[in-house]
Structure 1
Amino acid sequence: MQKLRQLIINPGSTSTKIAVFEDEKVLFEKTLRHTTEELVGFERVSDQYEFRMNIILDALKENGIELSSLSAIVGRGGLLKPIEGGTYNINDLMYEDLKVGVSGEHASNLGGMIAYSIANAQNIPSFIVDPVVVDEFDDIARISGHPLFDRKSIFHALNQKAVARRAASELSKKYEELNLIVVHLGGGVSVGAHKMGRVVDVNNALDGDGPFSPERSGSLPIGAVVKACFSGKYTQQEIAKMIKGNGGLNAYLNTNDAKSVSEMAESGDKKAKLVYDAMAYQVAKSIGECAVVLDGNVDGIVITGGIAYSKPFVEYISNKVKFISKIFVYPGEDELLALAQGGIRVLRGEEKAKVYK
């Protein structure tokens, strides 16, 4: 079988991670860091496009990576219109939507833009894979309780889908043949019900419902939130920061470092232990909710993300939910590999690239 070489581009707010994969083996990987001074002159995120692309091209040249050796280029999917999961060919419409920020501005928008431009110059395909806007909700999951506030699908789609496929492989099944509950434990926490290859329900991990996390409040008692909003004590920006940034572990313990909180709990800090256990408790409750969504027919529970390295945290969750199904634990996240795997599936004909419309 012919080896496939792909360039992977994953932009963050102050860095751009790039890698060259030959099939699933890393040939080259580098994090290109961008200083505040370098970025301050760009009014919009999309304005950074040529600046970041040129740095990527220089890094490849310096390390002897010939663009002519590439089979495809895969960029991190950005804030597009809601789409179903999968690998998408980057087309003119997607490029424009990323450029204008059709669903908001984020550094990840640059991934698709840069991949498209470099690939077009080489006459090779360019892809994005499972962006955060993946929306495969059943209609019933959109109903919140008031028509002004629809529930939205915003979650760690790339990593959730990648580890779901990994678990499916261990079960000797296809992802599309299984019902799985996938838990991503990071700065934000998302718990998704994967029904035969579709995430039919998941909490809004950006700034909405679900378990609290190291820096997000998750679901809060809504009446108390309304009173705080109109108390005159806080600005809208301060309330927003309570929900995302200064919520969760940060709010209770003045740190968003879950590892530090775990160490505090193990050393006898009772408050740290209570809060840390409460975070695991809420995750376990959300797993139970997803089991209901899947009618109790659950082939596996998959736990991933940085906090999955914490044995006490994973054990707390596992003890609560092991009656539901077999548990798979894949600590950390490897977005570069997940992006490469999405491109490989299309290049090998295992999947058909989807069209953004």
Structure 2
Amino acid sequence: MTTVALAVTDGMLHFELSVAYEVFGSKPDSVDVPWYDLQVCGRGPVRLGRFVLEPDHGLDRLREADTVIVPGWVDPDAEPPADLVDAVRAAHEAGARVASLCTGAFVLAAAGLLDGRRATTHWAHTDDLAARWPRAEVDPDVLYVDNGSVLTSAGKAAALDLCLHLVRLDHGSSVANAVARRLVVPPHRSGGQAQFVTTAVPARDDHPLAALLPWVLERLDRPLTVEDLARRARMSSRNLSRHFHAATGTTPLQWLLTQRIRRAQELLEKTDDSVTSIATATGMGTATTLRRHFNRTVGVPPDAYRRTFRLRSGPDRADRSVTASRVAVPGGPVGSGSPRPVGPSGSAVGGRAYVG
């Protein structure tokens, strides 16, 4: 069982703390995998506005955790407590994966964990984070950033995006989706902040692509073209491309390739189908074509991806050498940028900008 420790201190934000507690402290009834051992660590009692929280353990317990979560706090202008900063740094040095929610990024920065790494925080505080910690590469336009062992999220609801991302890394997309369903939230979220993995379907029912994209997702096994999509949407190819870019941040063909790769990842995670069968089911045509696109996009061949994420959801998942493994995917829209890690079903992990 993987240990998740919440690092708490006076003045932390209830929402971000509650999000992490709900995600890692409650296993969905439909999920049959070992769940997390959630521990609350801090100097107790901890005052959170009108609430008082009694931690399970002291901050020294963070060193023993597999994952440490640092929630945001009310006053990021104040220097974070030295003992909290030291405990978070010691946990990371001991091998823990450390994630901050919202303004918790200021604690990670004070611990030196953001030096030379890309990071984010609530949009209202990104300028301050960048000014105070110039060695961090602060990105104000993303929901979260995953550098492998150090992760940061934007504010409020983005904390939930990052927590679901962590579950997806540990257990795969099916389990993360089950958690999202229980919380009545989408497993992947689009928005104004630039994201690596675009959502499959626009949220608004009256969007020009709202009927088209589900239609496409049901036909990923077919050789669809931009002209096919434009004809179905009853608009010109140029107008279709404009709507696609506005809704997903990419082109129709890039979006279609993303969905084909994500479907292939799901089938590799959930089935024993051959690569040839998966190539047919995802519209790639041949195993050679699938391997070429998959390897270029994800960074490893389909068989290697299957072995990695089958192991993560198996009985040895708690082995740190397994949970720490990563596979690479190009950053930005599919097929561009430099390699960066991804988790199951297209969740980006380990390098630059990200999606939940």
* TM-score band, normalised by shorter chain: under 0.3
Q: Which has the higher strand share?
A: 1
Q: So what's the TM-score if we normalise by structure 2?
A: 0.28
